[in-house]
């Protein structure tokens, strides 16, 4: 009779293989989910800035900082070079147009003036001598013409008398022919003297006119040299404040060298630098506001400088109506520059994440973790970004800087 054997309870050797395989699979799953330091980053929640996505009115403006400057600055360049002989006005002083600020000395210019004056005197003497010569020739020519006219008239009368006597056969033919020849010679001589006198008169007019022109030209040249002499007095080009003056007594100033500037204080402007991110949106005639002592002042963007340096470009703004009574050059103001009209939009508060991601993605908080999500940001102001895609109202977003997260795609919040 067969005896039924009881099955032994407990683990058999093959079971140990199944357990090991299961444990290996569990470990691999845990590593995939939690063990990759590249995709997961752990940090304390208190160390992060977390903001909520809201829906509201987006004011399309930016806040910029600007410095007050004179409405215009006029630079003073030396018309003439020279040595500084006298300094009459110091930096910071108020000046009127035409006030002498510096007096220069230029020995070469003085020598040019003396040479020009000497040449002018010689030219005047030449003109005087030439005029006297032509006047004498003119008198002599008229005297010769008068003599020739008198001789012609007398010989003509003698010829006519002899012609009548010869016709009556009262004189010989020889006497008649002699009187005729004398008369004809007198006619030719009269024509020659007359022609010479006319030519002398024409030559006199052209020669004296040319000399007069040369003389006037020399006078203008001398006048210009005198103007250069006056330019040795460096004068204020406009009413205002002498901003700076780069000249000391005894210093040699080159022609064209910049030696100072006049700040026109009839009005003021504000010079500001703006991030290049806004260069396509900042245009002339945009409006801005400045708040001072509880009162707002309106400004207009007058000029945009296209050059970008260190990621920023410069603009000039001017006051539309009133300006602060205590305004002074060099003061610093915060301005609100309006870029466009307000509109309703999803709003994400400003934060350091933008410098890490360029606004292309964020970490969205979900419980005790935050996952990376691509978004699209539109306009921005000093407080908010306008969210166009990727987020919903009420969602929580990490808005602090992401640089310490590395390439993580998941943040575990402790």
Mapping DSSP onto H, E and C, the string for the chain reads: CCCCCCCCCCCCHHHHHHHHHHHHHHHHHHHHHHHCCCCEEEECHHHCCEEECEEEEECCEEEEEEEEEEEEEEEEECCCCEEEEEECCCCCCEECCCCEEEEEECHHHHHHHHHHHHHHHHHHHHHHHHHHHHHHHHHHHHHHHHHHHHHHHHHHHHHHHHHHHHHCCCCCHHHHHHHHHHHHHHHHHHHHHHHHHHHHHHHHHHHHHHHHHHHHHHHHHHHHHHHHHHCCEEECCCCEEEEEECCCCCCEECCCCEEEEEEEEEEEEEEEEEEHHHCCCCCCCCEEEEEECCEEEEEEEEEEEEEEECCEEEEEEEECCCCCCCCCCCCEEEEEEECCCCEEEEEEECCCHHHHHCCCEEEEEECCEEEEEECEEEEECCCEEEEEECCCCCCEEECCCCHHHCCCCEEEEC
**Average pLDDT value for residue range 186-207:** 85
Q: Which residue has the tokens 């040699």?
A: 252
Give me the pLDDT at residue 374, please. 93
What's the fold here for domain 61-103+232-340?
Elongation Factor Tu (Ef-tu); domain 3 (2.40.30)
Give me the pLDDT at residue 198, please. 85
36-58+343-413: in CATH 3.30.2320.50: no
How far out from the chain centre does Cα 364 lie? 49
**Average pLDDT value for residue range 339-361:** 89
Give me the pLDDT at residue 37, please. 44
Domain boundaries, the chain: 36-58+343-413, 61-103+232-340, 108-227
Give me the pLDDT at residue 315, please. 94
Give me the pLDDT at residue 213, please. 79
Q: The tokens of 359 are what?
A: 């606004």
Q: Which residue has the tokens 């166009």?
A: 388
pLDDT tens digits for range 202-236? 887 787 777 777 778 777 777 777 777 888 888 99
Do the domains 36-58+343-413 and 61-103+232-340 sit in the same CATH topology, yes or no? Answer: no
**Average pLDDT value for residue range 173-190:** 90
Label residue 394 by pLDDT band (50, 70, 90).
Answer: very high
Evaluate if residue 117 carries a pLDDT over 90: no
pTM for this prediction: 0.51
The CA distance from 310 to 284, in Å, is 22
The CA distance from 29 to 38, in Å, is 16
Give me the pLDDT at residue 36, please. 46
CA 177-181-187 angle, 5° bins: 145
Give me the pLDDT at residue 114, please. 82
The answer for 189, left when phi > 0, alpha when psi is -120 to 50, beta otherwise, is: alpha
**Average pLDDT value for residue range 399-403:** 91
Label residue 329 by pLDDT band (50, 70, 90).
Answer: confident
Beta bridge partner(s), residue 103:
86, 233
Evaluate if residue 187 carries a pLDDT over 60: yes
Give me the pLDDT at residue 267, please. 85
Evaluate if residue 383 carries a pLDDT over 90: no
Of the listed ranges 16-30, 260-274, 339-353, the least confidently predicted one is: 16-30
Beta bridge partner(s), residue 242:
262
Give me the pLDDT at residue 312, please. 92
The CA distance from 58 to 377, in Å, is 13
Of the listed ranges 10-19, 60-69, 161-170, 241-250, the least confidently predicted one is: 10-19
**Average pLDDT value for residue range 328-350:** 88
Mean pLDDT score of the chain:
84
Give me the pLDDT at residue 10, please. 53
The CA distance from 411 to 43, in Å, is 7
pLDDT tens digits for range 263-321? 888 888 999 999 888 888 899 999 999 888 888 899 999 999 989 999 899 999 999 98
Evaluate if residue 385 carries a pLDDT over 80: yes
């Amino acid at each position: 009779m067969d005896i039924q054997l009881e099955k032994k309870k407990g683990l058999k050797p093959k079971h140990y293989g199944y357990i090991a395989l299961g444990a290996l699979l569990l470990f691999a799953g845990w590593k995939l989910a939690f063990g990759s330091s590249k995709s997961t980053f752990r940090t304390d929640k208190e160390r992060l800035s977390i903001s909520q996505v809201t829906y509201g009115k987006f004011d399309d403006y930016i806040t910029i900082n600007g410095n007050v400057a004179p409405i215009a600055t006029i630079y003073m360049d030396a018309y003439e070079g020279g040595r500084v002989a006298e300094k009459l006005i110091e930096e910071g002083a108020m000046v009127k147009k035409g006030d002498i600020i510096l007096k220069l000395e230029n020995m070469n210019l003085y020598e040019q003036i003396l040479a020009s004056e000497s040449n002018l005197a010689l030219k005047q003497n030449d003109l005087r001598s030439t005029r006297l010569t032509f006047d004498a020739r003119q008198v002599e020519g008229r005297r010769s013409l008068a003599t020739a006219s008198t001789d012609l008239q007398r010989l003509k009368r003698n010829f006519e008398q002899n012609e009548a006597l010869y016709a009556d056969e009262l004189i010989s033919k020889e006497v008649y022919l002699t009187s005729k020849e004398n008369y004809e010679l007198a006619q030719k001589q009269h024509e020659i003297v007359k022609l010479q006198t006319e030519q002398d008169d024409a030559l006199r007019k052209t020669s004296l006119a040319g000399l007069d022109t040369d003389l006037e030209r020399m006078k203008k040249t001398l006048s210009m040299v005198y103007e250069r002499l006056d330019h040795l007095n460096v004068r204020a080009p406009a009413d205002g404040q002498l901003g700076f003056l780069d000249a000391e007594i005894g210093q040699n100033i080159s022609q064209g060298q910049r030696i100072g500037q006049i700040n026109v204080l009839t009005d003021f402007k504000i010079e500001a630098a703006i991030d290049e991110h806004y260069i396509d949106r900042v245009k002339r005639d945009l409006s801005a506001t400045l708040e001072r002592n509880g009162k707002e002042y309106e400004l207009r963007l007058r000029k945009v400088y296209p050059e970008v340096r260190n990621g920023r470009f410069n603009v000039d703004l001017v006051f539309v109506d009133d300006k602060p009574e205590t305004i002074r050059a060099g003061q610093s103001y915060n301005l609100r520059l309006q870029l466009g009209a307000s509109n309703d939009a999803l709003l994400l508060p400003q934060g350091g994440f933008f410098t890490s991601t360029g606004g292309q993605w964020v970490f969205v908080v979900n419980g005790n973790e935050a996952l990376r999500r691509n978004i699209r940001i539109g306009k921005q102001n000093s407080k908010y970004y306008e969210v166009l895609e990727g987020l919903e109202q009420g969602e929580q977003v990490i808005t602090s800087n992401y640089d310490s997260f590395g390439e993580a795609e998941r943040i575990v919040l402790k």
